[in-house]
Structure 1
């Protein structure tokens, strides 16, 4: 066997490049997939806007509380609507809004100003800036800074559930994954391309930070508004993550959700569904997902649904101009023999 020995680069920049190449070529260690051992399990839920994260979390947190778990639900969506279903349509003051108001009055924020409870579930909203007046991701970072001042790391909960918008890819919304702030992630999706595209992006983010030494894993997927066509289940199988629950596209669920009614109650029609989901969330280990390529994602759907048979036709200069393009001779000077 011939061993090629490269000379040590003298240039510091070249040495750094060599170190980066060696790091990129190194084999990654096997992922840790055991059950989290921390006293508090922090679970971040991601999904496309409008896919039903808040509906799922409100009912899930309510059921977990009825099972004897101490649960904190934190809304991390600038719309501040995570807790509205839990509180019968009422909105609670957000941490960012309350902090600004208290600061202007020279007062400190207290737990009772931002955290509220119902039937054993504790809940709060981080909030965010109004449209056009700031960065939502930066608002999330600021909100967590305020939580830390309130003693977030000393609070005694069995589970902390974080509701994050999955459409946005900036650092603020990726905070739990990038900074190992949670042990596991759950994606909420349905049998449509856009929600699965978002779910796949979240899996890609988890895989990216695992390569950088992170420990967050994907516990699984909740299929909401399931119409039985099977694309979401097929995605989960290819990404090698389990389906924790399939919530059907049922008129009774839609009507009760629109009326801000909790359906995840023991003894109710949908109680067993959320009892099973609660157990799955508690027991599911954080797995390392296998994100799909764009072609693999499109392959989950019929060709006519996603336009897979469309041919890309290159545009011409004439297409881009109202008048016919005039070709002028080049003014470039060419020197012979150079």
Structure 2
């Protein structure tokens, strides 16, 4: 045995690989206001990427677990958190086939979250990624990993990919309304905050969904210094097909060129450092009639609050009646 070990130790090692990497995964986090169309955008984007020959993993990181519903024709996937709980009770381990499913080349899974009032959604996200790491997340061989995150929740779990440099870049889905751009601005603020702490994540751009041509999202993108990756029109055909869980981002269809262009932009757009707007600057993108900037804040009075006159006590000293 000793001689065998000496012989093995004396053998010349293979030279280290010095050529360029043959595979590099782009991990991209997509953020936006709830209901703005992140899941619609991602389902069609991931489908188009797969049809272009890319190996794509779509991970839903929203407690609603609706990211993959359009991809699978309205069917709900078993979530990682739900499956993990059931397997734990049964004394079993979670396997890839329990939580990851495939359609036309797109791999997809849902992290899930706790039921309403029974836990923290952000903590559920953290737990889900811990389980993904145990399943070999960092060893999987994908061209793109797309993470669908709710943007209008501010707890730490939802900021995980930005705070921990888990992704290379962020893409925002927004529209021409104040609330979605408020969320978009918050995401830019989060990116800038962690960049100041030494982070490397940047914003690659914004996808304008349900674009009605009014231009507020375009003005926002220009103001914060990020590009528009695609503008998806507010079209009745898109709305109707999406409501029926149809994929519209198929090669050769009416909307194919839109998602082909988005796929190229997502792949090639570099992450940039945004310049978030102040609340007043964000309001300035809209007409005063739209957001009510002429409203004056009128201080309330104690009489209005209590329905009686204000009793002013000159001192806190307790005065007792004479005995």
> Please, what TM-score do these two structures have when normalized by structure 1?
0.86
Determine the C-alpha separation between the residues in 1 that align with 2:217 and 2:182.
11
Q: Are 1:159 and 2:169 matched, yes or no? A: no
SS of alignment partner, residue 194 of structure 1 = helix
Residue segments in structure 2 that go unaligned for 5+ positions in a row: 1-21, 319-323
1:258-317 Cα deviation digits (max 9, x unpaired): 000000001100000000000000000000000000000000000011111111111222
Distance 1:38 1:49 in 2: 33
SS for the counterpart of 1:106 is coil
For the residue of structure 2 that corresponds to 1:218, the secondary structure is strand
Q: Which residue of 1 aligns with 2:166?
A: 181
Q: 2:305 matched to which residue of 1? A: 320
Q: Which residue of 1 aligns with 2:292?
A: 307
For 2:45, the equivalent position in structure 1 comes to 60
The match for 1:73 is 58
Shift of 1:332: 6.1
Aligned to 2:195: 210
SS of residue paired to 1:127? coil
Q: Give matches, 1:187-202, under 5 Å.
A: 187-202=172-187
SS across alignment from 1:311: coil
Aligned partner of 1:99 in structure 2 is 84
Is 1:168 aligned with 2:121? no
- Show structure 1 runs of 4+ deviating over 6 A: none
Distance 1:262 1:176 in 2: 27
What is the aligned length? Answer: 298
Aligned to 1:30: none
Unaligned runs of 5+ residues in structure 1 are: 1-36, 334-338
Distance 1:312 1:38, change over 3 A: farther
Distance 2:247 2:281 in 1: 37
TM-score scaled by length of structure 2: 0.90
Distance in 2 between residues matched to 1:170 and 1:95, nearest whole Å: 20
User: 1:243–1:317: structure 2 CA closer, same or farther, 3 Å change rule?
Assistant: same
1:256 aligned partner: 241
* Alignment match of 2:36 (pick from 33, 47, 51): 51
Q: Distance in 2 between matches of 1:329 and 1:278?
A: 70
Q: Kindly provide the CA deviation profile for residues 201-230 of structure 1, in whole angstroms up to 9, marking residues without a partner as x.
A: 000000000000000000000000000000
Cα contact 2:202–2:271 (8 A) shared by 1: yes
Distance 1:331 1:126 in 2: 56
Q: Distance in 2 between matches of 1:104 and 1:316?
A: 57
Deviation at 1:330, TM superposition (A): 2.8
Q: Give, in angstroms, the shift of residue 38 of structure 1.
A: 7.5
1:115 aligns with 2:100: yes
Query: Aligned Cα RMSD in Å?
Result: 1.4
- Give secondary structure in 2 for the equivalent of 1:172: helix
In structure 1, C-alpha distance between the alignment counterparts of 2:97 and 2:29, rounded to whole Å: 24
CA separation of 1:121/1:323 partners in 2, compared to 1, >3 Å: closer, same or farther?
Answer: same
**Residue equivalent to 1:127:** 112
Distance (Å, rounded) in 1 between the aligned partners of 2:185 and 2:303 = 39
Q: Note the alpha carbon deviations across 1:231-278, whole angstroms, 9 max, x for none.
A: 000000001000000000000000000000000001100000000000
Counterpart in the other structure of 2:13: none
Compute the displacement of 1:331 (Å).
4.9
Kindly indicate whether the alpha-carbon contact (under 8 Å) linking 2:58 and 2:145 is maintained by their aligned counterparts in 1: yes
Q: In structure 1, the residue corresponding to 2:75 is in which secondary structure?
A: coil
2:112 paired with 1:147: no
